[in-house]
Structure 1
Amino acid sequence: MIWYNLTTLCTFVSKTSYSKMALLLKIKKLFTKEDYDFDSPDINLRNFHPQLYIYLAAMGIFTNNRDSLLRFIWPSVCISLLFIAIVFEGMFLVHGVIVKDYAFATECSFYFLLIGMVFAVYGGVFYNRDEVFQLIDDMNNDFVFIRTMESKYRDRFLKGQLLIHKLCCIWYIFMTTIVFLYILLMLCSLVMQSLFKADIDVIRPLLFPMWLPADDPYRTPNYELFLFFQICLLAIVNQVFSGYIYMLFHVLLHYYCILDMIIKDFEVIFDGLDESVVCLLSKDPVRKQLQSTLNGRMKRIVNWHLAVFKGVKTVSSIFGPPLVYQVMVSAIFICLMAYQVAENLKKGQLDIIFVMLLTAAILQLWIPCYVGTLLRDKGYAVGNACWNSGWHETRLGTLIRADMVLVIQRSQQPLAIKFIGLPQLQLETFSSIISTAYTYFNMLRQYNPDS
C-alpha cells in the first residue's frame, strides 16, 4: 500500500513538472515566434503583430467592421469609470491640501495626472481615427511589399519586426507585473490584518487612498465597492497607457526598419550594372534599359523615404496631444513618486509599489525619447549612406546624381514627432525633464517642514 502511494505521488509530481515545462515551452515559443512561418507568402501586419489590433479594438478602433456601433461599448465603460475616478482624485487632492496631509495630497496628485494622461490618449486616438486607419494600412502595405522581395531584404525586415514583438512582450510583462504586485501586496496586507488584528480597530487597505466628506469609505459595504472599482480602474489604466507606449515605440521602430532597408538599397544600388554603357548615346536601347533600372531602384528608395516622413507625421497627429501632456507632467510624475519613496525611507520603510511606479514613470518617458533618438540618427544615416554609395567612383552616378542630391537634402531634415508645444523626443529631452523633476523634488522637500 505504501509503495502504491509513493508511486502515485511520484507520478503526480512528474505530471505536474511536465505540465509546467510544457507551459514554459509554450511561453518561450510565443516570445520567440518559433512556430511562426517566416517563409509564408501570406505574412502581414495582422498575423505578425496581432497584439496591435487587439489594442486598437480595445480603444474602439475596429479594422474590419470599421463603423460597427459595438466599438463604442468598451471605451464608453472605461471613460465613464475614468471620469468618476478623476472627480474623486480631484476631491481627495483638495482635501489633502486643506488638512495639510501632503503625503496624501501627493499620492492623489499622481493618480489625478495619470488618469488625465489616459484621457489624452483616448482623445488623440478618437479624434484622429482616420489617421490611425491610414497608418495601419501603410504599415501593412510595407509587410505585403517586403515579403515579395529577395531574402536578404525580407530576413532583415522580419528580424527587426521580431525584435519589436519581443520588446512588446517585455513591456507588457513589466507593466502587468506592477499591476499584479499592486493588487497582491494589498491583498497580503488585508490577509495579515484578518489573521493577526481581527480584534483591533484597523483601517483596511485599498489600492488608492480615499476620503469621503460625510461617510467612511473603509466601512462595509463601501470598502468592497471601492475595492472592486479600484481594481477595474487599475486594469483600464494599464490597458490604455501600456498600449499607448507600446504602439508608439512599435510604429517608430517599424519606420526605423524601413530606413534600414533604404540604407541596404544604397549599398547595392550600382551592383550588377555595366558602367561602360554610360558612354553610349542616350537613345541607345541598352542605355535606356540601364537608365530604367537605376530609376527603378531610386524610385523605391524615394518612395520608402517619403513613406517614413509621412508615417512620422501621422504619428505626430495621433499621439501629439498625449505626448505633449506626457512631456509636461512627466517631471511632476517622477517628482511625486520620488517624494513618496523618500518619505517612506525616512520612516524606515521601502515601498516596493512606489519604487516600481517610479521606475515605470521613468521608463514611459525614456522609451519614446530613446526611440526618437534612434530614428533621428537613422534618418541622418540615410544621407550618409547615399553619399558613401560610391556614386563618385563610377560613371553610373551621373545618371541619378540629381535624385541622390534630393535624397541627401531631404535626409538633413531631422526625423522627429512635431506638435505644438512638444520638444523633439530625444535623449536630451529626457535628461532635461529628469533635471526638472529633481529640482521639483528638492523644492517639495524644502516646502514640507517635516521632510
Structure 2
Amino acid sequence: MVLLKTLKTFFTKDDFDFDSKNIDLYKFHPHIRIFLVFNGIFFNNSESYIRYCWPVLSTMLALVGAAIELMIIHHGIITGDYSFATECFCYFIILTTIPLVYISVLFGRNKIFQLLNSMDRDFLYICRLEPKYRNLFLNGQLLIWQLCIVWFVFAMSIVTMFLISTIAILFYQSLFATQTENTVRPLIFPLWLPEDDPYRTPNYEVFFFFEIIVCLMVPQIFCVYVYVLFHILLHRYYVMDLIIFDCEVMFNDLDERVIDLPQNDPNRMKVQLILNKRIERIVKWHNMVFETINDVSSVYGPPLVYQVIISSLAICLMAYQVAESLDNGKFHVIFAMLCIATCVQLWIPCYLGTLIRNKAFTIGDAIWSSGWHETSLGRLVRQNLIIIIMRSQKPVSIKFTGLPNLDLETFSSVMSTSYSYFNILRQYK
C-alpha cells in the first residue's frame, strides 16, 4: 500500500507546490535535462566533447547491428525463409532510426536550447498571472508529465518482454531441460553467421550481451525523441489556450466612454495603452507558436520524414509476422506489442499536428468572438484584430522536405498503405 501511494503521489505530483510563483521548466520537469544528456545535449558544459561519446558509441552499435540485420535479411531471402527475413527487416528499420535522430538533435541543439529557454520563460511568466491562467497551464503540464510516464512505461514493457522471454527460456534450459532434448540457447533477436555458429560459446555470450545493450539503447533514444516532440507541441498547445482566454477578456473592465474623448486625453490614452498591452501579449504568444513549429520542423524534420515513409513498411511486416504466427497456431505477443508501439509512435506526432493546427484556427475564431463589434472600443484595435485573424488563417503545421504536412490524414494514409502491403504479402506468400 505504501508503494502504491508513493507511485500515485509521483504520478499526480501531489507533493508539488502548484501555488508557487517561482516554478520553472526544470522544477516541474526535472527529467528533461537527463533525457537530453543522452542525446548529446549538455546544460552545464554545453561545448564539452564528452557529449559526443554516447551518441557516437550508440550510432556505431546501431550501424553494426543494422549491417548484421542486412546480412541476415539477404540470407533469409536466398533460403526462402521470408518470415525470418521480414522479422530482421523490422529490426533493421528500428536500428537505422538511431543515427538519424542523433544527427538531427546534435545539428539542431542550438534551436533546442532556444525552445527550452522559451518554455522556461513561459513557466516563470505564466505562474505569476491570475489563477485561471496558471491553473490551466499547470494542469496541462501535469498531463505532459503523466503522458511521459505512460509512454516510457509502455516502451520499457516491450523491451522487458523481449528480455524476460529470452531469460525465461534460458532458466528452463538450465534447470529442467535434459541433455537429450538437444536445445539451443535462445538469443533476444534471431541471428545467423555465414561461416560460424552464433549459438556456440563464446559467440553466444558476446552476441547476447550486444543484444541486451541494443535493447536498452533503442527506447532510450527513440522514446526520448518522441517524448521531447510531444512535450514541446503540447506546451504550445496550452499556451494557445491562454491566448483564447486573453481574447475573451480583451475588453473587460474598460470604460467605453473614452472613445468620445480627444485622442490626447489621458483617460483615453490609458485605455488605449491597456488594449495595446493585451494585444501585444496575444501577438507575442501567437508568434511564438509559429516560431516553435518552424524550429521543431527544422530539428526533427529528417527523423519525422523517415518515420512517415518507413512506418507503412514496418507496420506491414510486423502485422505479417503476427499473422504468420497465428497461421502456425501461435500468437506472437511481443511482436504484436511492437506493432502497436510502431503505430502509436507515428500516431502521436500526427495527432498533435492536427491538434495544434485546429487550435491555431480557433484563435482566429476567438478574436472574432471577442466582442469587438459589441463595444465602441473595438474601433481602437480593429486593424490589429484584422491582422491577427488573417495571421491565424495560415495553417500551423509541421513541414519538411518530403513531408507536406504532419496530421491525422498522414497517419490514415500510412495505415492504408500498410494494409495494402499486408494484403499483397499474404496473397503471394
* Percent identity over paired residues: 51
Deviation at 1:195, TM superposition (A): 3.6
**2:108 is aligned with 1:132:** no
What is the match of residue 74 of structure 2? 94
Deviations 1:111-164 (A, max 9, x none): 111111122111110111111111111111111111121111111111111111
Question: TM-score, structure 2 length as denominator?
Answer: 0.98
1:282–1:288: 8 Å Cα contact kept in structure 2?
yes
| 1:27-426 matched pairs, under 5 angstroms | 27-199=7-179, 200-426=181-407
Deviations 1:311-348 (A, max 9, x none): 01000011000000000001011001000000000000
1:121–1:322: 8 Å Cα contact kept in structure 2?
yes
SS of residue paired to 2:190:
coil
Number of positions where the alignment pairs a residue of Structure 1 with one of Structure 2: 428
Q: Which moved more, 1:222-231 or 1:69-78?
A: 69-78
Deviations 1:364-404 (A, max 9, x none): 11111111111111001000000001100000111001111
Task: Give the whole-Å Cα distance in 2 for the aligned partners of 1:368 and 1:213.
Answer: 40
Task: Give the whole-Å Cα distance in 2 for the aligned partners of 1:263 and 1:227.
Answer: 54
Task: Give the whole-Å Cα distance in 1 for the aligned partners of 2:44 and 2:12.
Answer: 28
What is the match of residue 16 of structure 1? none
Deviation at 1:66, TM superposition (A): 0.8
Deviations 1:79-123 (A, max 9, x none): 221121111111111111111110111011111111111221111
Deviation at 1:23, TM superposition (A): 2.0
Task: Give the whole-Å Cα distance in 1 for the aligned partners of 2:330 and 2:174.
Answer: 22
Task: Give the whole-Å Cα distance in 1 for the aligned partners of 2:268 and 2:330.
Answer: 78
1:423–1:429: 8 Å Cα contact kept in structure 2?
no
Give the counterpart letter for 2:233 in structure 1: L
Give the counterpart letter for 1:82 in structure 2: A
Task: Give the whole-Å Cα distance in 2 for the aligned partners of 1:260 and 1:189.
Answer: 52
SS of residue paired to 2:291:
helix
SS of residue paired to 1:395:
coil
Q: Match for 2:408 among 424, 427, 432?
A: 427
SS of residue paired to 2:377:
helix
Question: TM-score, structure 1 length as denominator?
Answer: 0.93
Task: Give the whole-Å Cα distance in 2 for the aligned partners of 1:383 and 1:407.
Answer: 7
Deviation at 1:194, TM superposition (A): 3.0
2:63–2:96: 8 Å Cα contact kept in structure 1?
no
Deviation >6 Å, runs of 4+: none
Give the counterpart letter for 1:118 in structure 2: I
Q: Which moved more, 1:351-360 or 1:198-207?
A: 198-207
Task: Give the whole-Å Cα distance in 1 for the aligned partners of 2:121 and 2:425.
Answer: 51
2:12–2:142: 8 Å Cα contact kept in structure 1?
yes
Give the counterpart letter for 2:159 in structure 1: V
Q: Which moved more, 1:107-116 or 1:194-203?
A: 194-203
Q: Which runs of 5+ in 2 are unaligned?
A: none
Deviations 1:196-255 (A, max 9, x none): 433122222111110001110011111111111101101110101111111111111000
CA RMSD, Structure 1 to Structure 2 (Å):
1.0
SS of residue paired to 1:54:
helix
Task: Give the whole-Å Cα distance in 2 for the aligned partners of 1:423 and 1:107.
Answer: 30
Deviation at 1:32, TM superposition (A): 0.5
Give the counterpart letter for 2:29 in structure 1: H
Q: Which runs of 5+ in 1 are unaligned?
A: 1-20
Deviations 1:45-67 (A, max 9, x none): 11111121111111110122211
Q: Which moved more, 1:79-88 or 1:412-421?
A: 79-88
Task: Give the whole-Å Cα distance in 2 for the aligned partners of 1:61 and 1:285.
Answer: 52
Task: Give the whole-Å Cα distance in 2 for the aligned partners of 1:377 and 1:80.
Answer: 41
1:110–1:333: 8 Å Cα contact kept in structure 2?
yes
2:316–2:418: 8 Å Cα contact kept in structure 1?
yes
Task: Give the whole-Å Cα distance in 2 for the aligned partners of 1:50 and 1:36.
Answer: 12
2:161–2:334: 8 Å Cα contact kept in structure 1?
yes
Deviations 1:7-30 (A, max 9, x none): xxxxxxxxxxxxxx2222221111
**2:429 is aligned with 1:445:** no
Task: Give the whole-Å Cα distance in 2 for the aligned partners of 1:265 and 1:444.
Answer: 54
